Amino acid sequence: MTDSQRPTPPFTDQQQDQTPGQTAPMSPQPDHGEQSYRGSGRLSGKAAIITGGDSGIGRAVAIAYAREGADVLIAYLNEHDDARETARWVEEAGRKAVLLPGDITDPAHCEQIVERAVQEFGRLDVLVNNAAYQMTYPSLEDISDEEWNKTFDTNIGAMFRITRAAVRHMKPGASIINTTSINADHPNPGLIAYAATKGAIQNFTGGLAQLLAEKGIRANCVAPGPIWTPLIPSTMPPEKVEQFGKQVPMKRPGQPAELAAPYVMLASDEASYISGATIAVTGGSPII
């Protein structure tokens, strides 16, 4: 599909009441690479964890990883229909899919994600920390302590706990990939709590790359710009959804499928000397 064939704003009013949202009601439907991604064995024999793997970027990465030869544990909150659909695509590619629902703000669940993956696959080669929470607020006064803490505990606290548990099982050549955001460098004032966590993720990843280098474990970030996922209609007001993605030079949101390539590359052995990097997938908005 060429750039001119991808959906552009304006989009219809399609608010969803519950975060992180569902894929089925979205119009247009996100493209996760179901019909387009072609694997070439770049992750053959590897085992991966993807948090937030039920939909959006997580689903696109799960499909790509499976078609590249990896087994995948899909960790998600409670979006069971979406998670089962992702698992179906993984299994259709001939790989094993493990579904594990639960709240990553619970430290015990963070440990369970890793232990379950090791139990099911016998190894852990790739950790994709992708799950995130956001909500739009027009002013600081509208953000409660509970909301601030929930955003940080979901986006960076859980990342720390899952990573700490995963490193115990990772061997040289393993890869950790954290989803940050263009908001790490260009914070959206309406997403101030979310943006602050994304800056923290980028900093955490840079430190992690240095800390784990002697173990032969790499850590990198992917920084998406506006991507068309269920998080958008479930966390943004109608006027923002209608014009979503128009602010970047390409004048449209990215599709989840357009994120798969950097996640595959960073997980592969071809990226053996890449650690501490941030790869921007932002529709032309620079991160410098």
Give the residues across from 224 on adjacent strands: 281
Measured between its terminal Cα atoms, the distance across the chain in Å is 28
For residues 93-118, b (16+ Cβ closer than 10 Å) or e, as one string?
Answer: bebebbbbebebbeeebbebbbebbb
Output the CA torsion sign for 78, 79, 80, 83.
negative
Active centre residues (catalytic) = 194
Give the residues across from 179 on adjacent strands: 222
CB under 8 Å, gap of 24 or more: what pairs does 116-119 form? 116/73, 117/47, 117/49, 117/73, 118/169
Query: How open is the CA angle 215-266-252, to the nearest 5 degrees?
Result: 145
Residue 212 · residue 167 · CB < 8 Å: yes
Q: If 0-12 CB within 10 Å is exposed, 13-18 middle and 19+ buried, where does residue 2 land?
A: exposed
Which DSSP state fits 135?
-
- Which residue, chain included where needed, has tokens 């016998």? 122
- Which residue, chain included where needed, has tokens 């955003």? 151
Residue 241 · residue 232 · CB < 8 Å: yes
